[in-house]
Amino acid sequence: MGKAKVFVFAPDRPDRVGDTLDRLVAAGCEIIQGSASWDTPQGNSESEMVTMARGADALMGTSIRSSPITRRIMEASDRLRIVAKYTIGVDDVDVAAATDLGIIVTHAPTEANWGGVAEGTVAMMLTLLKKVRERDRAMKEGKWRDPALQGTYLGSRLQDGAKGITVGIVGLGRIGRRLAELLQPWRVRILACDPYVERARFTLHNVIECDLDTLLAQSDVVTLHVTLNESTRRLIDRRALAKMRPTAVLINTSRGAVVDEAALVEALEKGQIAGAALDVFEQEPLAPASPLRRLGDKVLLSAHMVTANRESGIRPGAIMAAKCVEAALRGELPDSIVNPEVLPRWQQRFIRKALIG
């Protein structure tokens, strides 16, 4: 039984192998680590990763922005069985090429990941609508009850029949559904748009199904929870932003490229919408000269770390990815496969062909 090689292109802990990989090391795997990490997604170039991936049986890691996991990288090893991501999204992996090459791709939909995103979205929404930052700053500047700092009352008021705000959820997957659950006690009206989930999901989570244009036009808060693919890339462009209310806010905790950043900056500067909260950006890290940094309280910015919570965050995803790699190296099917169409070919090549015990 030959020694298995695992190329970790973006470790969660770049300073050492870390406990998420200890089990693979104990099983006799050779670990090669790239220079990207959760802290710094800009790492090795494609050519450098091709060299490191030669002879690899598995690739794994968190998000990487310097180069996606391309066909060229995966073709560097005819032994490659699996590409395992620590994250929910696999937009930085050429899944079609992996399927064509007979390689399984997995992701890590741990509750720490998707649950943390939903909680962080609520925090962003409340920060914007309740003017938390502005009130804190005013107090520290010696002001008291500044009349300009009126917040938004979210829920319906039963005593006088006033209706609450409308929250529009784009994407009713794990994150969108958890967000809907968290919002229920607030008595807000919830719209949702997702052509890929069964209609019963809308009823089950007490949300109103609608198309994207209706959601944009009627929502006070538009929050994005979609995967990045060709149909969602720049889903929120100038046309979409023009449909939103001038008092509405946009929240993006999905992927930066879902929003046309230049169009968003323009909409904020012109007052087409009232504000935005962004945890993700088209280019990461966000450039120091980005115009998003000079929009003051119109934007709430976070460094793609909405799931960065103590005893949570990326670590559970890293553990899940390590378990997926371990299963694949034993010649077994891992969990959370995103390209199940590859299975007949993969099983023919690798099933019950173990590289580790």
Q: What is the pLDDT of residues 295-304, one digit of tens each?
A: 999 999 999 9
Q: Which of 304, 315, 326, 330 is catalytic?
A: 304
Confidence at residue 311, expressed as pLDDT on a 0 to 100 scale: 67
Q: Which of 225, 255, 315, 330 is catalytic?
A: 255
Q: How confident is the model at residue 204 (pLDDT cuts 50, 70, 90)?
A: very high
| pLDDT over 90 at 179, yes or no | yes
| Arithmetic mean of pLDDT, 129-138 | 97
| pLDDT over 70 at 13, yes or no | no
Is 255 noted as a catalytic residue in this protein? yes
- In this structure, the dihedral spanned by the alpha carbons of residues 216, 218, 223 and 226, taken in order and rounded to 10 degrees, is -50
Q: How far is residue 243 from each of residues 209, 247, 267, 268, 300, measured CA to CA in Å?
A: 18, 12, 11, 14, 21
Confidence at residue 274, expressed as pLDDT on a 0 to 100 scale: 98
| Strands in 140-274 per DSSP E | 166-170, 189-193, 208-209, 221-224, 249-252
Confidence at residue 14, expressed as pLDDT on a 0 to 100 scale: 55
What are the tens digits of pLDDT across the range 279-291? 999 999 999 999 9
* β 221-224/208-209 pair status: unpaired
Confidence at residue 41, expressed as pLDDT on a 0 to 100 scale: 84
Percent of all residues in the chain with a pLDDT value above 70, rounded to a whole number: 97
Q: Which of 48, 238, 284, 349 is catalytic?
A: 284
The three-class DSSP label of residue 249 is strand
What are the tens digits of pLDDT across the range 102-120? 999 999 998 888 999 999 9
Instruction: Classify each residue of 3-35 as buried b or exposed e, where b means 16 or more C-beta atoms within 10 Å of its C-beta.
Output: ebbbbbbbbbbbeeebebbeebeebebeebbbb
Confidence at residue 36, expressed as pLDDT on a 0 to 100 scale: 87
| Arithmetic mean of pLDDT, 91-98 | 96
Taking the complete model, does pTM exceed 0.85, yes or no? yes
* Domains of the chain as residue ranges with CATH: 5-107+311-350 (3.40.50.720), 113-301 (3.40.50.720)
Q: How confident is the model at residue 315 (pLDDT cuts 50, 70, 90)?
A: confident
Contacts with 277 (C-beta within 8 Å, 6 or more apart), sequence order: 124, 125, 127, 128, 249, 250, 251, 252, 299, 300, 301, 302
| pLDDT over 60 at 15, yes or no | no
| pLDDT over 70 at 333, yes or no | yes
Is 233 noted as a catalytic residue in this protein? no
Q: How confident is the model at residue 245 (pLDDT cuts 50, 70, 90)?
A: very high
Confidence at residue 18, expressed as pLDDT on a 0 to 100 scale: 57
Instruction: Classify each residue of 116-141 as buried b or exposed e, where b means 16 or more C-beta atoms within 10 Å of its C-beta.
Output: bbbbbbbebbebbbbbeebeeebeee
Per the CB < 8 A criterion, the answer to whether 342 and 104 are in contact is yes
